[in-house]
Structure 1
């Protein structure tokens, strides 16, 4: 490809990337009803704490090293996150019965409630986002989003 064609292609990709970023920022901005419907308004959560709640909701209990790999974050950082979440009564941690060196983390009842409510709200928002699309458009969108998510 000639130098000018490469430059134009790069410029077009950059423009498209800016458009994608703007669309994603709008799509990922939490709607007001999600904020108003916060399941436990007195509990503040960081983005990583929310991610931990969702990981534990998907996988059940996890050992600390697996949780660190899934975030990804150093084990020392995950330990501090779990310390804060344990203080908020969102998670419980225990030593493995097979190997006392292994620490297992799971959602506490309060954490499970928060996870379930957040998940329900997110699903409602996702349904509203898909409503204006035809079935074919939904399939294409989901296929493309799946392809993008596998690249991350």
Structure 2
């Protein structure tokens, strides 16, 4: 009897290891840290707008634009339309600046999609970058455009 009870307790404890909560790797964004490094000469030595969009609803995520031009061109109306289903972190980074930790929304781990939009003056068709499954990303602003690397 004691062996059966021990086996049941062990089964419950081990079985609980697979339980997932909102905001963990199975149900939400992995992203917990964003760094930004703007090299000298980035974006023709101009300040570079960056928006990080944290979306909490799959239908809203599907409505996001795929290019920075479309995002920045319709940002106010998109944010208004998506309402509580989106949080946006907006930055404007000048060349030579390093941001070691960008402040993320309180509920960022619950996002179903995290997208980065970077507006380079010379590139109207800059594609968005999906950051949802990255734990820590460094956005490197270089003369030729943005790069997304793992944090070091």
Q: TM-score when scaled to structure 2?
A: 0.27
Pick the structure with more strand per residue: 2
Pick the structure with more helix per residue: 1
Q: TM-score when scaled to structure 1?
A: 0.27
